[in-house]
Amino acid sequence: MKKVCVITGGSSGIGLSMVKLFVENNYQVFNLDLSPSTDGEFCQCDVTNVSQVTKIINTIANKHTIDVLISNAGIHFSANIENTSEEELDKVFNINVKGAYAAVKAVLPSMKANNNGAIILISSDQALIAKHNSFAYNLSKSALASIAKTTALDYAQFNIRANAVCPGTIETPLYHQAINNYCEKSGADKAEVHAEEAALQPIGRLGQPDEVAELVLFLASDKAKFITGSLQVIDGGYTAQ
Protein backbone atom coordinates (compact mmCIF):
# COMPACT_ATOMS: atom_id res chain seq x y z
CA MET A 1 0.00 0.00 0.00
CA LYS A 2 1.28 3.45 -0.89
CA LYS A 3 2.33 5.87 1.82
CA VAL A 4 0.45 9.17 1.80
CA CYS A 5 2.19 12.53 1.60
CA VAL A 6 0.54 15.95 1.88
CA ILE A 7 2.49 18.85 0.39
CA THR A 8 1.52 22.52 0.52
CA GLY A 9 2.65 24.72 -2.35
CA GLY A 10 3.50 21.83 -4.66
CA SER A 11 2.70 23.37 -8.04
CA SER A 12 6.03 25.09 -8.78
CA GLY A 13 9.68 25.33 -7.78
CA ILE A 14 10.90 23.15 -4.93
CA GLY A 15 7.34 22.07 -4.19
CA LEU A 16 6.81 20.69 -7.70
CA SER A 17 10.14 18.85 -7.58
CA MET A 18 9.07 17.24 -4.29
CA VAL A 19 5.67 16.21 -5.64
CA LYS A 20 7.28 14.57 -8.67
CA LEU A 21 9.97 12.79 -6.65
CA PHE A 22 7.54 11.45 -4.05
CA VAL A 23 5.19 10.20 -6.80
CA GLU A 24 8.16 8.49 -8.47
CA ASN A 25 8.91 6.81 -5.14
CA ASN A 26 5.43 5.32 -4.89
CA TYR A 27 3.81 7.84 -2.55
CA GLN A 28 0.23 8.96 -2.97
CA VAL A 29 0.74 12.73 -2.99
CA PHE A 30 -1.86 15.41 -2.28
CA ASN A 31 -0.80 18.88 -3.42
CA LEU A 32 -2.49 21.79 -1.63
CA ASP A 33 -1.96 24.89 -3.73
CA LEU A 34 -3.85 27.77 -5.31
CA SER A 35 -2.31 27.13 -8.74
CA PRO A 36 -3.52 24.02 -10.59
CA SER A 37 -1.09 21.19 -11.23
CA THR A 38 -1.29 17.86 -13.05
CA ASP A 39 1.29 16.30 -10.74
CA GLY A 40 -0.02 14.45 -7.69
CA GLU A 41 -3.64 14.83 -6.59
CA PHE A 42 -4.37 18.54 -6.72
CA CYS A 43 -6.45 20.15 -3.96
CA GLN A 44 -7.07 23.84 -4.51
CA CYS A 45 -6.30 25.51 -1.20
CA ASP A 46 -5.49 28.89 0.28
CA VAL A 47 -3.09 28.07 3.11
CA THR A 48 -3.86 31.37 4.85
CA ASN A 49 -7.39 30.05 5.47
CA VAL A 50 -6.96 27.77 8.48
CA SER A 51 -10.45 26.29 8.29
CA GLN A 52 -9.97 25.48 4.59
CA VAL A 53 -6.64 23.76 5.23
CA THR A 54 -8.16 21.82 8.12
CA LYS A 55 -11.18 20.73 6.07
CA ILE A 56 -9.07 19.48 3.15
CA ILE A 57 -6.62 17.60 5.34
CA ASN A 58 -9.45 16.10 7.41
CA THR A 59 -11.06 14.88 4.18
CA ILE A 60 -7.79 13.21 3.21
CA ALA A 61 -7.33 11.76 6.71
CA ASN A 62 -10.84 10.28 6.66
CA LYS A 63 -9.79 8.07 3.74
CA HIS A 64 -6.06 7.63 4.34
CA THR A 65 -3.44 7.54 7.05
CA ILE A 66 -1.22 10.57 6.50
CA ASP A 67 2.41 9.46 6.71
CA VAL A 68 4.22 12.64 5.62
CA LEU A 69 3.51 16.36 5.67
CA ILE A 70 5.73 18.80 3.80
CA SER A 71 4.88 22.41 4.61
CA ASN A 72 6.35 24.26 1.68
CA ALA A 73 3.94 27.05 0.65
CA GLY A 74 5.60 30.43 1.00
CA ILE A 75 6.37 33.81 -0.50
CA HIS A 76 9.46 35.99 -0.59
CA PHE A 77 9.48 39.65 0.40
CA SER A 78 12.49 41.95 0.29
CA ALA A 79 12.61 45.02 2.57
CA ASN A 80 14.10 46.24 5.84
CA ILE A 81 11.87 46.86 8.86
CA GLU A 82 11.23 50.53 8.03
CA ASN A 83 10.05 49.64 4.55
CA THR A 84 7.81 46.78 5.70
CA SER A 85 4.21 47.84 6.20
CA GLU A 86 1.91 46.12 8.67
CA GLU A 87 -0.07 44.71 5.73
CA GLU A 88 3.07 43.29 4.11
CA LEU A 89 4.18 41.74 7.40
CA ASP A 90 0.75 40.15 7.83
CA LYS A 91 0.83 38.78 4.27
CA VAL A 92 4.22 37.12 4.73
CA PHE A 93 3.26 35.63 8.08
CA ASN A 94 -0.18 34.50 6.95
CA ILE A 95 1.28 32.47 4.10
CA ASN A 96 4.65 31.38 5.47
CA VAL A 97 3.79 30.80 9.13
CA LYS A 98 0.03 30.54 9.59
CA GLY A 99 -0.10 28.19 6.60
CA ALA A 100 2.43 25.91 8.30
CA TYR A 101 0.57 26.13 11.61
CA ALA A 102 -2.67 25.10 9.91
CA ALA A 103 -1.15 22.14 8.05
CA VAL A 104 0.88 20.78 10.96
CA LYS A 105 -2.03 21.03 13.39
CA ALA A 106 -4.37 19.32 10.94
CA VAL A 107 -2.19 16.26 10.22
CA LEU A 108 -1.31 15.49 13.85
CA PRO A 109 -4.48 13.55 14.77
CA SER A 110 -3.94 11.11 11.87
CA MET A 111 -0.26 10.70 12.71
CA LYS A 112 -0.96 10.25 16.45
CA ALA A 113 -3.56 7.59 15.70
CA ASN A 114 -1.00 5.74 13.58
CA ASN A 115 1.79 6.35 16.13
CA ASN A 116 4.03 7.42 13.26
CA GLY A 117 4.67 10.38 11.01
CA ALA A 118 7.20 12.69 9.42
CA ILE A 119 6.75 16.46 9.21
CA ILE A 120 9.15 18.54 7.15
CA LEU A 121 8.95 22.32 7.08
CA ILE A 122 10.71 24.14 4.26
CA SER A 123 12.52 26.94 6.05
CA SER A 124 15.62 28.75 4.75
CA ASP A 125 19.28 29.38 5.46
CA GLN A 126 17.85 32.59 6.94
CA ALA A 127 16.74 30.56 9.95
CA LEU A 128 20.46 30.52 10.82
CA ILE A 129 21.81 33.79 9.41
CA ALA A 130 20.58 37.25 8.49
CA LYS A 131 20.57 38.82 5.06
CA HIS A 132 20.10 42.44 4.02
CA ASN A 133 16.58 43.71 3.32
CA SER A 134 14.93 40.54 4.57
CA PHE A 135 13.18 41.51 7.79
CA ALA A 136 9.80 39.82 7.34
CA TYR A 137 11.02 36.85 5.28
CA ASN A 138 13.86 36.11 7.72
CA LEU A 139 11.45 36.37 10.64
CA SER A 140 8.98 33.95 9.05
CA LYS A 141 11.61 31.36 8.16
CA SER A 142 13.03 31.49 11.70
CA ALA A 143 9.51 30.82 12.93
CA LEU A 144 9.30 27.68 10.78
CA ALA A 145 12.52 26.38 12.32
CA SER A 146 10.99 26.96 15.73
CA ILE A 147 7.82 25.07 14.76
CA ALA A 148 9.95 22.10 13.71
CA LYS A 149 11.84 22.02 17.00
CA THR A 150 8.87 22.45 19.33
CA THR A 151 6.76 19.96 17.37
CA ALA A 152 9.60 17.44 17.49
CA LEU A 153 9.70 17.63 21.28
CA ASP A 154 5.95 17.68 21.84
CA TYR A 155 5.18 14.72 19.57
CA ALA A 156 8.22 12.45 19.90
CA GLN A 157 6.11 10.33 22.28
CA PHE A 158 3.89 9.50 19.29
CA ASN A 159 6.85 8.59 17.07
CA ILE A 160 6.23 11.72 15.00
CA ARG A 161 9.37 13.38 13.70
CA ALA A 162 9.59 17.05 12.71
CA ASN A 163 12.50 18.67 10.91
CA ALA A 164 13.16 21.87 9.00
CA VAL A 165 15.02 21.95 5.70
CA CYS A 166 16.95 25.18 5.24
CA PRO A 167 17.80 25.79 1.59
CA GLY A 168 20.19 28.49 0.53
CA THR A 169 19.88 30.13 -2.87
CA ILE A 170 17.93 27.71 -5.06
CA GLU A 171 17.13 28.41 -8.70
CA THR A 172 13.34 28.48 -8.64
CA PRO A 173 10.64 30.74 -10.13
CA LEU A 174 10.61 32.49 -6.73
CA TYR A 175 14.35 33.17 -7.09
CA HIS A 176 13.96 34.57 -10.60
CA GLN A 177 11.03 36.72 -9.49
CA ALA A 178 13.15 38.17 -6.67
CA ILE A 179 16.03 38.87 -9.10
CA ASN A 180 13.65 40.48 -11.60
CA ASN A 181 12.18 42.70 -8.88
CA TYR A 182 15.66 43.76 -7.77
CA CYS A 183 16.76 44.55 -11.34
CA GLU A 184 13.61 46.57 -12.00
CA LYS A 185 14.23 48.69 -8.91
CA SER A 186 18.00 49.07 -9.31
CA GLY A 187 18.49 48.95 -13.07
CA ALA A 188 21.06 46.18 -12.67
CA ASP A 189 21.68 43.62 -15.41
CA LYS A 190 19.95 40.31 -14.62
CA ALA A 191 22.69 38.13 -16.11
CA GLU A 192 25.31 39.90 -14.01
CA VAL A 193 23.23 39.64 -10.83
CA HIS A 194 22.62 35.93 -11.50
CA ALA A 195 26.36 35.34 -11.96
CA GLU A 196 27.12 37.28 -8.79
CA GLU A 197 24.65 35.16 -6.82
CA ALA A 198 26.29 31.97 -8.08
CA ALA A 199 29.73 33.30 -7.18
CA LEU A 200 28.61 33.98 -3.61
CA GLN A 201 28.16 30.25 -3.04
CA PRO A 202 31.33 28.44 -1.94
CA ILE A 203 30.41 25.54 -4.20
CA GLY A 204 30.28 28.00 -7.11
CA ARG A 205 26.70 27.60 -8.32
CA LEU A 206 23.08 27.87 -7.25
CA GLY A 207 21.21 24.92 -5.82
CA GLN A 208 18.54 23.12 -7.82
CA PRO A 209 15.03 22.20 -6.65
CA ASP A 210 15.56 18.48 -7.21
CA GLU A 211 18.52 18.53 -4.81
CA VAL A 212 16.29 19.89 -2.05
CA ALA A 213 13.62 17.32 -2.93
CA GLU A 214 16.12 14.47 -2.49
CA LEU A 215 16.97 15.67 1.03
CA VAL A 216 13.29 15.93 1.93
CA LEU A 217 12.61 12.43 0.61
CA PHE A 218 15.39 11.10 2.85
CA LEU A 219 14.01 12.90 5.92
CA ALA A 220 10.57 11.45 5.22
CA SER A 221 11.91 7.91 5.00
CA ASP A 222 12.68 5.33 7.66
CA LYS A 223 16.37 5.90 6.92
CA ALA A 224 16.01 9.13 8.94
CA LYS A 225 13.96 7.68 11.80
CA PHE A 226 16.43 8.95 14.45
CA ILE A 227 16.48 12.50 13.05
CA THR A 228 14.04 14.94 14.61
CA GLY A 229 14.08 18.55 15.76
CA SER A 230 16.92 19.32 13.34
CA LEU A 231 17.64 22.13 10.92
CA GLN A 232 19.01 20.52 7.77
CA VAL A 233 21.00 23.08 5.79
CA ILE A 234 21.37 22.65 2.03
CA ASP A 235 23.13 25.78 0.83
CA GLY A 236 26.36 24.96 -1.02
CA GLY A 237 28.37 25.99 2.04
CA TYR A 238 27.01 29.53 2.31
CA THR A 239 26.28 29.51 6.05
CA ALA A 240 29.63 27.84 6.82
CA GLN A 241 31.51 31.01 5.87
Angle at 181 between CA 176 and CA 186, to 5 degrees: 125
Chain-centre distance of CA 130, in angstroms?
A: 18
pLDDT lower than 50: segments of the chain: none
**What is the reported pLDDT for 163?**
99
The burial class, CB within 10 Å (0-12 / 13-18 / 19+), for 36 is exposed
At residue 195, the pLDDT reads 93
- Per-residue pLDDT at 226: 98
At 99 the pLDDT is: 98
- Cα 89 to Cα 122: distance, rounded to the nearest angstrom: 19
| pTM for the whole structure | 0.96
Catalytic residue annotation: 137
The CB-side HSE value for 57 (13 A sphere, CA atoms) comes to 33
Half-sphere exposure of 203 (CA within 13 A, CB side): 14
Q: Count of residues for the chain?
A: 241
At residue 119, the pLDDT reads 99
pLDDT of amino acid 129:
98
Q: What are phi and psi of 169, to 5 degrees?
A: -85, 110
Tell me the pairing of strands 231-234 and 160-167. Answer: parallel
- Taking the C-alpha atoms of residue 76 and residue 224, their distance in angstroms, rounded to an integer, is 29
Domain boundaries, the chain: 3-170+208-240
pLDDT at 216: 99
Question: What's the gap between Cα 236 and its chain centre?
Answer: 18
Q: Which among 102, 135, 139 has a CA at the least distance from the CA of 123?
A: 139
Q: Does domain 3-170+208-240 have CATH number 3.40.50.720?
A: yes
Q: Give the pLDDT confidence score for residue 1 in this predicted structure.
A: 86
